[in-house]
Structure 1
């Protein structure tokens, strides 16, 4: 009884760490990813558990004290055993690979989430070391804080202002990279109201450990109220304020911008693309030489 209580306590302690992780999904994408994880685990356990039991059974049967066990010193080959030994791992690979293949197509990051609600577009820029979220339809932006309406698909466009990074909200699903001069796309949805942690999962320098943000999933009325409040407070995000924001900083407290310059996100992407384009660098060098 005492050992059972200790084991139960240990299990509860270990599972307590799953309250904000991938095993506690709050959206359709994360729930589907958890199902793939459980299906893969079940397939592998269906192989691992019988293998462990068979190993113990063979060791018990062929113990020195068992006189009934047949001793076959000249045994070399058995076609049936070879078929069994190779078919089981082959079947495991096919099943796990099939689950992953089907899931990869169903959970394509660009694939729209089926919903009657109109998706809310959000543009994401990873900076050193913070996250910028631009709401193009609402004309506002926030730093290290993402507000989304419950039950509404969120259509993300993501890029990086500097180094390659990785965007991840474990309870909503689908980690995806952000890259300078490129745009990646992601569809997520929160089905339950709450606050969910988001983070960078790729080391990007000194302030990486503080590169976190919160996702608040609220009802539509609360989301509209937050948008109105954001539109009435804070500064406007233009090229000058963005240049200031883009400077490396750590542990940035969340705040909002009341307005955003038109196509700021596109300008960030295009500027990075031009900087990474060798032909642009050659043109710039020749122009300076002509001056």
Structure 2
């Protein structure tokens, strides 16, 4: 036994050394949304421990006090009820559940990722008329594409934003479902092909932070990481100028090449971006001979194509079939690119958006 105690003591220090390398970024975030989410986690944990800790402690107390060898404890085989004990057993968990329910209801609305920010941090409210920085995010296999429509630039596996300026992320994917996550700034949110999710967030401290995919998406998932730079206004402007000095342009053809699966891609900057590229990615019509989803929905909302739809058909061209690896597959026809009805009914046709959670 003495040797076992010494061995356990020696193992204690290597464990501490390994834990010393852990970065508790979720508990030490740099953005206000992540800070509120951290407080929600801590509050919920403490409330649940109010029941768990006493139960665990009393389990050992009762086991020790009423052990067989303890002849001094009272023995009452007829005891079966205590009103006071019943009140404690039922009232305390009930109160905690009510408190947790109220906190969950409030935080679900307050931390809704689709909700524009109302404050910069706990001490500062958001000035009226503040314009958020819009960033369009595309989850590719296996890399991240960021498009800045206001600045007219794009980059792969790198992004930046000014400190204390709200950011509106518009997020989609090219193929399979993924998850966009910058732990220091906000909770994760899913990215899905043909759908758009949103995230409103802010970074309150300058620095370099890690972004990653939080949802397994295939062979290159583990390398699907990027750097997020929190910069002051002047440094952000310099960063934008640096990206604009690149010789690359992100055309539709360039995107189709970039979309091909690849792993651990280096950072790439694009000084120009094809107009409406993100909308084409979202609506699954980057190829010139494909009909966009919003046009399909507009036609369906107007009653469909009827018999003309059986005639106006097309198929993927040879280059697209080769890129998608479909050369050995049967050729399939689909409704070709057509003029949309121009929304004659004045219908609003939003992209389907899934429900999300604040954490």
**SS of corresponding position for 1:253:** coil
Asked which structure has the greater RCO (Cα within 8 Å, sep 6+), the reply is 1
The aligned runs of 1:63-212 (5 Å cut-off) are 63-113=67-117, 114=119, 115-116=126-127, 117-212=130-225
SS at 2:151 equivalent? coil
| TM-score, with structure 2 as normaliser | 0.72
SS at match of 2:175: coil
RMSD across aligned positions (CA): 3.0
Instruction: In structure 2, list runs of 5 or more residues that go unmatched.
Output: 1-5, 120-125, 286-291, 314-332, 337-359
Provide the residue aligned with 1:49 in structure 2.
53
Alpha-carbon distance change, 285 to 13 in structure 1, aligned in 2, over 3 angstroms: farther
Tell me by how many angstroms 1:112 deviates: 1.6
- Displacement of 1:244: 0.8
**Matched-pair contact (CA < 8 Å) for 1:22–1:170:** yes
Of 274, 278, 283, which residue of structure 1 is paired with 2:293? Answer: 274
Name the counterpart of 2:43.
39
For residues 276 and 90 of structure 2, what CA distance do their matches in structure 1 show?
Answer: 57
Q: CA deviation at 1:40?
A: 1.0
1:22-33 aligned at under 5 Å gives the runs: 22-33=26-37
1:66 shift after superposition: 3.2
SS at match of 1:95: helix
* Deviation at residue 25 of structure 1 after TM alignment: 0.4
Change (3 A) 1:91 1:26: same
Write the deviation string for residues 56-96 of structure 1: whole angstroms up to 9, x where unpaired. 22222212343342222233444443443233333332222
Matches of 1:185 and 1:222, distance apart in 2: 26
1:184 Cα deviation after fit: 0.8
Q: Which residue of 2 aligns with 1:17?
A: 22
Distance in 1 of aligned mates of 2:255 and 2:81: 72
Distance 1:285 1:199, change over 3 A: farther
- Asked if structure 2 preserves the Cα contact closer than 8 Å seen for 1:30 and 1:174, the reply is yes
Please, what TM-score do these two structures have when normalized by structure 1?
0.88
Q: Is the radius of gyration larger for structure 1 or structure 2?
A: 2
SS in 1 for 2:64: helix
Q: Report deviation, 1:156.
A: 0.6
Alignment check: 8 A CA contact 1:29 1:173 kept: yes
Deviations 1:208-245 (A, max 9, x none): 11111110111111110111121121311111111111
Structure 1, unaligned stretches of length 5 or more?
none
Residue 10 of structure 1: how far off its partner (Å): 5.1
